[in-house]
Chains A and B, each alone.
Chain A
């Protein structure tokens, strides 16, 4: 009874001593977790925004470009056909030139 009253029968309680090393490690861990969360959130937001921008202008990204008519496109073929046609009556024999 006397022992119990004096507290000798209890297990000794270890007091967690906070060392500077432990404090630094904990701070780094929490900071890294925050940084990872921010990084992850940024990535998710970036993906969402990219998807939204892709859906926002579907015509721009999926539209096929066609070859439109312009009068100057006729210049080269018309010149070649004209020069070749002139040569029907005045044969352009390349063998004679060489």
Chain B
């Protein structure tokens, strides 16, 4: 791998890990039909990521495995980047179905590959990271009905009106908004 890489490193995986969760929250604005509304998606993603980060940090501190590129940094196991990418990929698969899911999983696998390519993680780190990510996303989705009942996330569309105002006498602009809740 070192010879193949030729001493180069690519840090694009730092940003790519968040693409799937951004797609999960916003891809329905492009016309795709989502199963849940935006509030439910925010709630399920927040739950999933909270579980994932908690589990990942606890295991990192407990296991203390050295990284391949710097053995004195004992935060190798499991891979947080991979867990983040796979959480988003699994949420996307559950929300939008198989086609988007395959694309998201391909993307997440690419992030996992980049972690090994950049010599940041061992293979078992990214495997466990993927497992933790997928499991966290599933737990987030399993808890969604309870969250929906608790916070009334499936409430019908609220009526909202926004009226811009302009007063020519004193040249003032303003805005009035009314929301039914």
Judge: A and B partners, yes or no: yes
Q: Given that A66-B144, A84-B128 are contacting pairs, would A92 and B134 also be in contact in the complex, using a CB cutoff of 8 Å?
A: no
Nearest neighbor of A65 in chain B, beta-carbon distance: B35
Whether A78 is near chain B, meaning CB under 8 Å from some CB there, is yes
B13 at the interface (CB under 8 A from A): no
Instruction: Check A87–B94 contact: CB distance below 8 A.
Output: no
Contacts of A66 in B (CB 8 A): 141, 144-145, 148
- A63-98 vs B, CB cutoff 8 Å, 1 = contact: the mask equals 011111100011011111111111110011111001
Once the chains bind, are B124 and A91 in contact (CB under 8 Å)? Answer: yes
Chain B residue numbers with a CB within 8 Å of A78 are 131, 135
Task: List the B side residues contacting A79 at CB < 8 Å.
Answer: 131
Taking A80-B127, A84-B124 as given, write out 14 further A-B residue pairs in contact, using a Cβ cutoff of 8 Å, ordered by the A residue number.
A66-B144, A67-B142, A67-B144, A68-B142, A74-B138, A82-B131, A84-B77, A86-B124, A87-B124, A88-B77, A88-B124, A91-B122, A93-B68, A94-B123
Residue of A nearest to B141 (CB): A67
Beyond A65-B35, A94-B1, whether A77 also contacts B123 by CB under 8 A is: no
CB of A84 within 8 A of CB of B138, answer no
Do most interface residues of chain B lie in helix, strand or loop, or is the interface mixed? Answer: helix
Give, as a whole number of angstroms, the nearest-CB distance from B97 to chain A: 12
Question: What 4 pairs across the A-B complex have the smallest Cβ distances?
Answer: A87-B124, A84-B128, A80-B131, A81-B131
Structural contact, A77 and B141, CB atoms closer than 8 A = no
Is B138's CB under 8 angstroms from A73's CB? yes
Residue in A68, A82, A87 with the greatest tally of chain B CB atoms within 10 Å = A87
Which residues 112-170 in B have Cβ within 8 Å of A in the complex? 116, 119, 122-132, 134-135, 138, 141-142, 144-145, 148, 154
Interface residue SS majority, chain A: helix
Instruction: Pull 29 A–B residue pairs with CB atoms less than 8 Å apart, ordered by A.
Output: A64-B35, A64-B148, A65-B35, A66-B145, A73-B138, A74-B135, A76-B134, A77-B132, A78-B131, A78-B135, A80-B134, A81-B128, A81-B135, A83-B124, A83-B128, A84-B78, A84-B124, A84-B125, A84-B127, A85-B128, A88-B63, A88-B65, A88-B77, A91-B122, A92-B122, A92-B123, A92-B124, A93-B123, A98-B1
- A98 to B1 alpha-carbon distance, docked (Å): 6
A82 CA to B1 CA, complexed, in Å: 25
| In the assembled complex, B2 has its CB within 8 A of some CB on chain A | yes
Residues of B within 8 A of A82 (CB): 131
B36 located at the interface, meaning its Cβ lies under 8 Å from any Cβ of chain A in the complex: yes
A77→B4 CA distance, assembly (Å): 30
